[in-house]
Structure 1
Amino acid sequence: MNTKSITTFFIIIFQIVSLNSNAQVLRKRNTMLMGGRFDITIVAKDSLSAEQSIDEVIVEISRIEYLISDWKPTTQISEVNQNAGICPVKVDKEVFELTQRALHFSEITNGGFDISFAAMDRIWKFDGSMTEMPSAEAIKKSVEKVGYKNIILDSINSTIFLKLKGMKIGFGALGEGYATNKCKEMMLAKGIEAGIVNGTGDMSTWGQQPNGKPWNIGITNPFHPEKLLAVVPLSGAVTTSGSYEKFVVFGGKRYSHIINPSTGYPVTGLCSVTVFGPNAEIANGLSTSLMVLGKTAGLSLLEKFPDYSCIMITDAGKVVKSKNFKIKKFKAKL
């Protein structure tokens, strides 16, 4: 688990349609926000409405970024981090409640998911420069400031306090999903009945294409990134966590760039997890958690979320579906 453990794993597949005078129009735009790429697609009654709606989505994502970013020094989360071990910091209700939900994930995963991972020492390098594993002592030291139990929330005063100096919290494993979900809710509230907001692989979709057909999402094959694992129709949220782009191999064992925050060791066993469900924030948290927990514990956790299903790809190339996998006629092509 790290600040940007999620990569773009989806291709939105649009069908070319013949639009009549009553049809809606589709507009797309991409931009860099929250440290990654956002692809925004809006279906509206005319081009002006669609472009204005995209502008509003970008403003909303920027607003969220300037609340929860831990790499921008003036955000509320940066203020929390700067006062670690010193004093509680009052935050907006929105930030407080997002932190509460993140801590819930930490509790149900026994620290497999942990927003205080932001304090982890970056001792693992995935740029080709590592020639040997870090020592066990260095790995243990790298996570000594990580620990969700040292995050103190005061709901009466809406404050967050990090007990240890040097602690940090960050939303790299929830923020994009939260932002895409908020944008979807905002667009539905203003009457935009269809669209997609894709934040570096954390995607919220709603409605249908202008031709009345479902959105089609192509999921990247983790062993052949230039190919698709599958194409699936989608209405709702989908997120993927994966490790196939950044990893090291020592002693024949593959270590991914997603780090278990409770141990300091890279996760092994799974190279990607894709989660489907109604809410991108929850799906985002689940996909990250499942990568860290592994196949058996991850599937057990998912049973607590009956509205969500997943596909796991193991390091050995096996496709594993959750019991409640809802997409019919799904066939993976590894």
Structure 2
Amino acid sequence: MKKIVFLTGLIFILLLSACSGEKEQVELLDQPYSKTEFLMGTVVTLKVYDKGKEEAIDKSFERIKKLAAEITTSDAGKSEIDKVNQNAGIKPVKVTSDMFYLVEEGIKYSKASDGDFDITVGPLTDLWHIGFSDAKKPTEAEIQAVLPLIDYKKVEMNKEEQSIYLPEKGMALDLGGIAKGYIADEVNKVMKGEGVTSAIIDLGGNIFVRGDNPKGGNWTIGIQNPFETRGQTIGKLPGSDISVVTSGIYERYLEVDGVKYHHILSPFTGYPCNNELAGVSIVSKKSIDGDGLSTAVFMKGVKDGMAYVDSFKDVEAIFVTKDKQVYVTDGLKDKFELTDKAFKMAELDGKGEK
């Protein structure tokens, strides 16, 4: 039984041509080389449009599988992160350079968010286990027992030894909040090394579009309606060489006595975050930024979340509230186009709808 769920995201790509422009001397295919596999608990699809670059897909999947084997925790206890968690309160564990970097980045995002995102939330996610057949609503006593174990500041990193140590027994890393973003960035590096100029990297909804749409110009990225099944959008935006990652409450949840408990858990209360938001999409140049920020931004709500996003370079966001209001950061105001009339654009300054 896996302990980390790599969530199926709330985004998909609309293969629509945008304004055309002069293309480089690269032959692009109308129908891409494409491969889909079920990995990390989700559907992974890679598409390459450069003629003669099909091998880049196989090399990318090799990279994905290697990293997934190091990250994904399970009862088998064979991954790098499994070993770190198993030795909590016992001893430091030497890990690969990939895992050391990933945990370092996780600590960075945890610190930047003041703990709204915390990579040591493992004891809490294990307790609720939302998304698995044994998911349950824990008792208040169970929640209070694990909360003291959640504190990213306690993680000890030894760069010289390349080791990680969790000093208290019962502590556990959960990298599900940043792993797919990191892997998407690594796949993009593989494709760049292989000379791929046009591709779609879809790690279960963590989307990265490389280069331009083969039909000319930017890709058109559809933003999922968080109240509907995957494939129904509320709007769209153009882009190339960007990542879009979404966190939302309707994707995965546990229902108990008519109450739905979603999977975005607060490291402070031990319960699912309860605010005005239904979904948040992060648009960034690096997919790990989208992953690392989406959970924290969701936790902070519209006002504080928007201010938080503004503190990062090359990062934008789209907020969808439970009452179907849509807010976007300044960098997207001339790019995001609302297409569903059931939703309304809104402003934080009290001026109302656009």
Tell me the TM-score normalised to structure 1 length. Answer: 0.88
1:219 aligns with 2:223: yes
For 2:312, the aligned partner's letter is F
**AA of the residue aligned to 1:228:** T
Shift in CA distance, 246/186, structure 1 to aligned 2, threshold 3 Å: closer
Contact 1:117 1:146 in 2 (8 A): yes
Could you tell me how far apart the structure 2 residues matched to 1:246 and 1:58 are? 26
Q: Output one character per residue of 1:54-84: Cα deviation in whole Å (capped at 9) or x when no partner.
A: 1111111001112222226222111111111
Q: Please list the CA deviations of residues 279-311 of structure 1 after superposition, one character each: whole Å capped at 9, or x if unmatched.
A: 000111111111122222222221211310000
Match of 2:315 in 1: 308
**1:66 matched to 2:69:** yes
**Corresponding residue for 2:349?**
none
1:230-241 pair list within 5 angstroms: 230-235=235-240, 236-241=242-247
Letter in 1 for 2:155: I
Let me know the Cα RMSD of the aligned residues.
2.8
Structure 1 unaligned segments of length 5 or more: list them: 17-21
2:13 alignment partner in structure 1: 12
- Report the CA distance shift for 1:160/1:176 in structure 2 as closer, same or farther (over 3 A): same
Q: 1:172 aligns with which of 167, 170, 176?
A: 176
1:279 matched to which residue of 2? 286
Structure 1 residue 92 displacement after superposition = 1.9
**C-alpha distance in 2 between matches for 1:260 and 1:112:** 7
2: CA distance, partners of 1:282 / 1:130? 29
Q: Return the alpha-carbon distance in structure 2 between the equivalents of residues 156 and 127 of structure 1.
A: 38
Aligned twin of 1:78: 82
1:263 aligns to 2:269 (yes or no): yes
Structure 1 counterpart of 2:285, which letter?
A: P
Report if aligned partners of 1:147, 1:262 keep a CA contact under 8 Å in 2: no
AA in 2 matched with 1:284: D
Q: Among residues 199, 207, 214, which one is paired with 1:210 in the alignment?
A: 214
Q: 1:135 to 1:89 in 2, by over 3 A?
A: closer
Q: In 2 relative to 1, CA 34–288 (structure 1 residues): closer, same or farther, beyond 3 Å?
A: same
SS at match of 1:302: helix
Residue aligned with 1:27, SS: strand
Of residues 64-73 and 298-307 in structure 1, the stretch that sits farther from structure 2 once superposed is: 64-73
**Amino acid paired to 1:180:** A
The structure 1 residue matched to 2:164, chosen from 160, 164, 170, is: 160
Moved more, 91-100 or 139-148: 139-148
Residue pair 1:41, 1:54 contacting (<8 A) in 2 also: yes
Pick from 119, 122, 129: which aligns with 2:127?
122
Following superposition, the deviation at residue 107 of structure 1 comes to 1.0
CA distance in 2 between partners of 1:3 and 1:298 (Å): 25
How many pairs does the alignment contain? 325
Alignment equivalent of 1:196, drawn from 184, 197, 200: 200
